Amino acid sequence: MMRVLIVERDRLHRDLIREWLEEGGVQAVCADDLAGAPAGIDAVLIDVASQQQAHAILLSWRRAYPHAAMVAASGRFSPRDMANDAMARRLGVTGILAKPFTRGDLWTALGLPAERATRPSATRR
């Protein structure tokens, strides 16, 4: 089972992302900082305030999880940024999510099969 670490400041966003992942059969783990981060993570979804701050934030998480996929999410990114491979390479991430994003966008950024994103939810919000 894939394990995704969610590093998201906003509790509502964090809870929704966790729900989406778990409904799709992905184990979701949350941490506020590296001190509380567990081992055995396959992907890290990190909330960043801006591209300028992303480098420093992402560097410490990449060091902690060198083999995990890294996805940066921000309200400062545009939908166009999600398809910008050059920007992803500059930031050193495997995916970019512009907030607000959909469940399908999350699956694409994590490289998960799209059909897992469309499973019916037992609890819709």
Write out pLDDT tens, residues 67-77.
999 999 999 99
Contact 106, 117 (CB under 8 A): yes
- Global pTM reads 0.88
The secondary structure of 56-120 as a DSSP string is HHHHHHHHH-TTSEEEEEETTS-GGGGG-HHHHHHHT-SEEEESS--HHHHHHHHT--HHHHTPP
CATH topology assigned to domain 3-117: Rossmann fold (3.40.50)
**Three-state SS at 121:** coil
> What residue spans define the domains of the chain?
3-117
CA distance readout (Å), 121 to 5, 73, 116 = 21, 23, 11
pLDDT tens for the chain, 125 residues long, are 999 999 999 999 999 999 999 999 999 999 988 888 899 999 999 999 877 778 888 888 999 999 999 999 999 999 999 988 899 998 889 999 999 999 999 999 999 887 766 655 544 44
Looking up tokens 């906003």 gives: 10
